[in-house]
A and B are shown apart, each in its own frame.
Chain A
Amino acid sequence: MLEIKNLHVKLEEEEKQILKGVDLTVEAGKVHAIMGPNGSGKSTLSYVLSGRDGYEVTEGSATLEGEDLLEMEPEERAAAGVFLAFQYPVEIPGVGNMTFLRTAVNAQRKARGEDELSAADFLKEVRAKAKSLKIDADMLKRPVNVGFSGGEKKRNEILQMAMLEPKMCILDETDSGLDVDAMKLVAEGVNALRDEGRGFLVITHYQRLLDHIKPDVVHIMADGRIVKTGGPELALEVENNGYADILAEVN
């Protein structure tokens, strides 16, 4: 589904190479986790895939079902099925959560040449999905992420993901700032979305999220490259011994 080949990325503003040849394939129906120390390039990878400004791809490619992602505008990538759950979800004062969701859903439908969802159908769907994430009516009315707690913000990201039904979900440190209960809730939300047609790329520092979202493949990223790939046991190894051993081993 998602195929990244030899991806090299530098910052636009300065001569700093962040990704130095990333190769990664995420198959439909699979959950891939990326772990790695701070500054290894994990978040940059998520931003480059979703099309944020400020990065320059100097070499390599990234495709979704064969389509070149790097040529597309961010909204085109979204319509093609790329979803990024933000590490720091953005506040939009004055815009109701529900309005935001509906605008997003209909924008994607329009881009794909589908009919817009009627107000009634939309409402029904959003209420059902919000309920399973313990998002109440009040939170749907409040302005997007304004005054939300850390847990509410992350749950809200998962609600957006559930409503937009993307093909490729990228979760950027979704566990950061969450207590155990909130993390379980978020993980349940993600697990409910796992199916054969959907790929996941879960970026995290810690094993604990992976206790709840069981990955099929775990990658270790360091200094802009994927240095080791394995099964779920690799995450446990990191948990027990830290990154130092693995990094020493590859070097």
Chain B
Amino acid sequence: MAALDQTQVKEGVDQETVDAVREVSTYKYGWDTDIEMEYAPKGVNPDIVRLISDKNEEPEWMTEWRLAAFERWTKMDEPNWAMVHYPKIDFQDQYYYARPKSMEEKPKSLDEVDPKLLATYEKLGIPLKEQMILAGVEGAEDMPAEGRKVAVDAVFDSVSVGTTFQDELAKHGVIFCSISEAIREHPELVKKYLGTVVPVSDNFYATLNSAVFSDGSFVYIPPGVRCPMELSTYFRINAENTGQFERTLIIADKGSYVSYLEGCTAPQRDTAQLHAAVVEIIIEEDAEVKYSTVQNWFPGDENGKGGIYNFVTKRADCRGDRSKVMWTQVETGSAVTWKYPSCILRGDESQGEFYSIAITNNMQQADTGTKMVHLGKNTKSRIVSKGISAGKAQNTYRGLVSMHPKAKDSRNYTQCDSLLIGDKCGAHTVPYIEVRNNSSRVEHEATTSKVDDDQLFYCRQRGMDEEEAVALVVNGFCKDVLQALPMEFAMEAQQLVAISLEGSVG
């Protein structure tokens, strides 16, 4: 009964979305929400850092932590080794804090959240209701009838507007809330783990994030608990000239398991916007974390105007023996992507996996890959990267596999495939391999291919139009990675592949 109602709602929403698409060409999430915002003054300095800390009602130790990070950041230089080119970013010409006015008084429950905000997420297909995710999801017929639950933390510009299923999760001892709430409510956990995977001094963007992060998600899974549902955070940048600096901290205690999903979109704007996130994951003995991202920030228009500059530091620390982490990312958006989700394989027999699809079209640039740092004995890692370039885009895989002296008998397998569509784009593969013991094995395979005219003609002769044919061939190329995604994400990702490549042929 309930499912039926929601299906109808979804259909209504889809119509709206269809209209939105017509207005903004191919990027489906390019509309903005007209909502009264409250900004901190432009630019960044210790006062702004204090203001953000104050807005989040943080304890003094947190404010000090931020200020120390800011102090350090002022002495750092922007990295320039990546194969991406963009106009110099004026870090003083950005807003570092923007929140909807209606969020001034923190809503106590989802019922109190501004309907405009709820409508925004509804329109994005992320209803902030505690319901089965599969209601109205295409292709759901193959799934068990009872569906699956997904808890959502929704971050709108600088603040988290609400988190679903908190009570049900609490029954299992799982903490899932915004990081600002965690700093207030669970300071002992935050103090123990924050900055231990990505140190404050890690890199230019991570250090800036440490100073000015405004919100993000926090997850703690207690020992032996298999999280009863998937957790997800949905990031939406709405305000103009505003950077989004979110911070995510995930702790999987001994023998626990969680699957975490991250989605991102932003309105279509003429000016580029900055996004510099940090994600830290701590995985204790025998625990396992799966982290999946579908990144669909606005990529800029076909001339390279606008779009998100995405400078992200994501790292998982497999601290305990036999711990496991799996990163899966589908990167379709952003004008510039600089992102290397990494695994520190510290525990003996720990395992890290990285599956990536990076699609660049028009003027997009992506420099992305991973780092697998093998410290423990018998550690294993696997990298499967699929880069697709179309238009005038440049796509770089950059990866490091490092076998330390104590990482005896460790193994890595890397497969990097690049696919080119048209003759104006580029694909680059930059693998770094360091092996400092003689019992470990590293394998690296790389291929570069073009979408073949014969394949396209074969598909078209069977009735598919050119774009459908390209999408089919590319989805086939990405299959190994798409299979690693949770069901709902895999379907979304497949459609996204098709949308991202619109206009790439002919």
Q: Is A174 an interface residue (CB 8 A)?
A: no
Are the CB atoms of A86 and B472 closer together than 8 Å? no
* A93 proximal to B (CB < 8 A): yes
B475 near A119: Cβ-Cβ < 8 Å = no
Instruction: Give the contacting residue for A92; candidates B455, B461, B480; CB below 8 A.
Output: B455
CA of A58 to CA of B459, assembled, Å: 26
Interface contact B457-A53, CB-CB below 8 Å:
yes
Contact A108 B463 (CB under 8 A): yes
Q: Which of A77, A83, A95 contacts B475 (CB 8 A)?
A: A95
Cβ–Cβ contact B141 & A119, under 8 A? yes
State which residues 437-486 of B face A: CB under 8 Å.
Answer: 452-455, 457-466, 468, 472-473, 475-480
Which among A83, A100, A103 has the greatest number of chain B C-beta atoms within 10 A?
A: A103
Q: Whole-angstrom distance between the alpha carbons of A107 and B461 in the complex? A: 11
CB of A90 within 8 A of CB of B458, answer yes
- Most B CB atoms within 10 A — which of A78, A83, A104? A104
Interface residue ranges of A67-115 to B (CB < 8 Å): 73-75, 77-79, 83-84, 86, 89-95, 99-100, 103-105, 107-108, 111
CB <8 Å contact, B468 and A107 = yes
Candidates B454, B462, B475, B480; contact of A164 at CB < 8 Å = B462
Q: A53-B453, A89-B458, A90-B455 are in contact. Are A104 and B463 (CB under 8 A)?
A: yes
Q: Which of B455, B460, B473, B479 contacts A73 (CB 8 A)?
A: B460
Contact: A75 with B457, CB < 8 Å?
A: no
Docked complex Cα distance between A119 and B210 (Å) = 50
Q: How far is the CB of B347 from chain A (nearest CB, A)?
A: 34
Our pick among B141, B460, B461, B473 for the contact of A95 (Cβ within 8 Å) is B473
CB atoms of B472 and A103 under 8 A apart: yes
- Report the Cα distance A46→B475, complex, angstroms: 29
- The answer to whether A75 touches B477 (Cβ under 8 A) is no
A204 interfacial by beta-carbon distance below 8 Å: no
In the complex, A143 Cα to B473 Cα: how many Å? 11
Residues of A within 8 A of B453 (CB): 53
Complex CA–CA separation, A51 to B461 (angstroms): 8
A94 touches B479 (CB 8 A): yes
How far apart are B30's CB and chain A's nearest CB, in angstroms?
A: 26
Give the residue of B452, B464, B466, B480 whose beta carbon is less than 8 angstroms from that of A103.
B464
Say whether B464 contacts A104, CB under 8 Å: yes
Chain B residues within 8 Å of A90, by CB: 452, 454-455, 457-458
A107: chain B residues within 8 A (beta carbon):
462-465, 468
B505 to chain A, nearest CB (A): 12
Report the minimal beta-carbon distance from A156 to chain B, rounded to whole angstroms: 12
Given A75-B463, A107-B465, A108-B463, verify A94-B477 contact (CB < 8 Å): yes
CA distance A91 to B473 in the complex (A): 10
The contact of B458 among A86, A99, A119, by CB within 8 Å, is A86
Residue interface mask B160-182, A partner, CB < 8 A = 1: 00000000000000000000000
Asked if A44 CB lies within 8 Å of chain B CBs, one says: no
Residues of A within 8 Å of B473, CB to CB, are 92, 95
Minimal Cβ-Cβ distance residue in B for A111? B463
**Using Cβ atoms and an 8 Å threshold, which residues of chain A touch B477?**
93-94
- Are B475 and A74 closer than 8 Å at their CB atoms? no
B460 and A78 contact, CB distance less than 8 A: yes
Find the B residue at minimum CB distance from A52.
Answer: B457
The reply to whether B472 and A95 contact each other, CB–CB distance below 8 Å, is: yes
> Which residue of chain A has the shortest Cβ distance to B482 in the bound complex?
A94
A154 to chain B, nearest CB (A): 14
**Cβ of A108: which chain B residues have Cβ within 8 Å of it?**
462-463
Nearest chain-A residue to B141 (Cβ)?
Answer: A119
B459: chain A residues at CB < 8 Å are 92, 100, 104
CA distance A53 to B452 in the complex (A): 13
Q: Does more than half of chain B's interface fall in helix, strand or loop, or is it mixed?
A: helix
Q: Shortest Cβ distance from A171 into chain B, in angstroms?
A: 13
Neighbouring B residues of A105 by C-beta, 8 Å: 463
What CA separation (Å) do A83 and B465 show in the bound complex? 15
The CA-CA distance from A143 to B479 in the complex, in Å, is 11
Chain B residues in 8 Å Cβ range of A103? 464, 468, 472
For A78, A93, A94, the residue with the greatest tally of chain B CB atoms inside 10 Å of its CB is A94
- Of A52, A75, A91, which is in contact with the most chain B CB atoms at under 10 Å from its CB? A75
Of all chain A residues, which has the CB nearest B474? A94
Residues of B close to A164: CB separation below 8 A: 462-463
Q: Which of A52, A78, A94 contacts B462 (CB 8 A)?
A: A78
Q: Name the residue among B141, B454, B459, B462 with the largest chain A CB count within 10 angstroms.
A: B462
For A51, A91, A95, A160, the residue with the greatest tally of chain B CB atoms inside 10 Å of its CB is A95
Nearest CB of chain B from residue A39's CB, rounded to whole Å: 21
B465 touching A75 by the CB < 8 A rule?
yes
Q: Mark A97-138, 1 if CB is under 8 A from B, else 0.
A: 001100111011001000000010000000000000000000
When chains A and B are docked, how far (Å) is the Cα of A90 from the Cα of B476?
14
The smallest beta-carbon distance between B467 and chain A, in angstroms, is: 10
Partner of B461, one of A74, A93, A100, A111: A74
Taken residue by residue from 105 to 129, chain B's Cβ proximity to chain A (1 for < 8 Å, 0 otherwise) reads as: 0000000000000000000000000
Q: CA separation between A160 and B466, bound complex, in Å?
A: 19
Q: In whole angstroms, what is the CA distance A146 to B268 when docked?
A: 41
A53 to B468, CA, bound (A): 18
A52-B457, A53-B457 given; A92·B476 CB < 8 A = yes
- Which of B452, B454, B464 has most chain A Cβ within 10 Å? B464
Q: Which of B459, B463, B465, B476 has the most CB of A within 10 A?
A: B463
Q: How far is the CB of B291 from chain A (nearest CB, A)?
A: 24
Complexed CA–CA distance, A75 and B457 (Å):
9
Closest-CB distance, A44 to chain B (whole angstroms): 14
Q: Which residues from chain B contact A79 at a C-beta distance below 8 Å?
A: 463
User: Can you add 8 more A-B contacts, CB < 8 Å, to A52-B457, A75-B465, A92-B459?
Assistant: A73-B460, A74-B461, A78-B463, A94-B476, A95-B476, A100-B472, A107-B462, A119-B141
- A: residues with CB less than 8 A from B are 50-53, 73-75, 77-79, 83-84, 86, 89-95, 99-100, 103-105, 107-108, 111, 119, 143, 160, 164
22 cross-chain CB contacts under 8 A: A51-B460, A52-B457, A73-B466, A75-B461, A75-B463, A75-B465, A78-B463, A83-B461, A90-B458, A93-B477, A94-B477, A94-B478, A95-B472, A95-B476, A100-B459, A103-B472, A104-B464, A107-B464, A107-B465, A107-B468, A108-B462, A143-B476
A-B CB proximity, top 10 nearest:
A94-B476, A95-B476, A94-B479, A104-B462, A108-B463, A74-B460, A90-B458, A78-B463, A107-B463, A107-B464
